[in-house]
Amino acid sequence: MHSSLELVLLLLGAAVIGVAVFRMLHLPPMLAYLAVGILIGPHAFGLVGDNETMHSLAEFGVVFLMFSIGLEFSLPQLMSMRRLVFGLGMAQVLISIAVVMAVSLLGAYWLPSLSGITWQAAFALSGAMAMSSTAIVSKMMAERLELETEHGRRIFGILLFQDLALVPLLILVPALANNPKEVWVTLGLAMGKAIVVLVLLLLVGQRLMRRWFHVVVKRGTLTLKAGKVVVKQDPEGYQFAILYAAPGKLASYRQKRDGGPDLWMEGYGQRIEYDNKSEIVNFYSKAKLKRLEGNKVTDEVKGEHISYDSKTEFFTVHNTSKGVSAPGAGRIKVILQPKETKAGTGTAGTASEKGK
């Protein structure tokens, strides 16, 4: 039997190797974790057994999973998408559970020698089959710039309801293992616990923790503010940051401009991507970019996507978050202040018109 430290080192070492291999194959790291768990588990190579220590580690995994779901969850977003979440999302979960339970129970009825599954086990299996990975799906959609599309919103609505349904499922499934005569009492208590947990998460937790998760990143005259920041670094030492807005707010960018002591560029969006190597900043969803002289706004542009090159102070703006403009997708707004220029030279206004 391995000690707790040996188990943790074994799992971490296997996970690192698995992620490296899957990265080389251009596959999501989440699949690497699943593959590693299957291979070293008791039903494959048996490097890790089914014991109390592993159960404790698995419970920590569930805690971390719920914590990551909480970081991504947004109550204002849930309310704005309530029809998709509680309509399409609920339908997907309930239909999936019903179909898998029906297939499992019919299989047990018609082929009892091959499948002796109980309704409790069928419910646990159907609940697992009804879920999908929010981390994998949302990452793939973000990479393809599909989060703000119509099908992206529908998919995200389903994912939100799955995140909500996961909490009561994690409480209900263990409750089904108790005495069948007391199952309804156990289910009632479990549902009560689920309601209490959801109330604490949605109402109390968000209000208490919202300020704590406000992130400010400063680099020289550059200031980035967001609810969550993910920073990656390439082998050359350059950094790439993705900023996600806090609930009900916008992520922000502010940087000093050349040409004067109090010239600034400010930008806002629900998501901001900053490339330290190219010094290009991309603003997505409710994007806005402003030139400032002190506190005075000299130029301003709004759209669903703005790409800003801080080296040249040149920007492009689009009416969709995919980085292209589409007919009928919406309007962009540009406010340019007239400026006097010398013959043969360009102006910030000219650059803005190009961006338009």
Three-state DSSP at 132 gives coil
Mapped onto helix, strand or coil, the DSSP state of residue 228 is strand
E-strand stretches of the chain: 215-219, 222-226, 228-233, 239-244, 251-256, 263-269, 271-275, 280-293, 296-309, 314-318, 333-336
Residue 234 to residues 241, 277, 303: CA-CA distances in angstroms? 11, 10, 30
Q: What is residue 114's predicted lDDT score, i.e. its pLDDT?
A: 67
Cβ partners under 8 Å of residue 215, min gap 6: 225, 226, 227, 228, 229, 243
Q: With contact defined as beta carbons under 8 Å apart, do 299 and 335 qualify?
A: yes
User: Which CATH code, of 1.20.1530.20, 3.30.230.10, 3.40.50.11610, 3.50.30.60, is assigned to 51-209?
Assistant: 1.20.1530.20
Mean pLDDT for each 10-residue chunk of the chain (356 residues)?
A: 74 88 82 85 78 77 70 67 87 93 86 76 89 74 72 85 81 72 71 76 66 56 84 81 87 84 88 89 91 87 89 84 73 60 40 37
Three-state DSSP class for 217? strand
Domains 51-209 and 215-355 share a fold: no
Cα distance between residue 330 and residue 265, in whole Å: 25
Residue 150 DSSP label: H
Q: What is the pTM of this model?
A: 0.48
- Give the pLDDT of residue 356: 38
Q: What is the pLDDT of residue 341?
A: 45
Fold of the domain spanning 215-355: lipopolysaccharide transport protein A fold (2.60.450)
Q: Map out the domains of the chain as residue ranges.
A: 51-209, 215-355
**Cα(199)–Cα(188) distance, integer angstroms:** 17
Instruction: Give the model's pLDDT for residue 260.
Output: 72
Q: Which of 163, 154, 99 has the alpha carbon at shortest distance from 133?
A: 163
What's the CA gap between 11 and 4, in Å, rounded?
A: 11
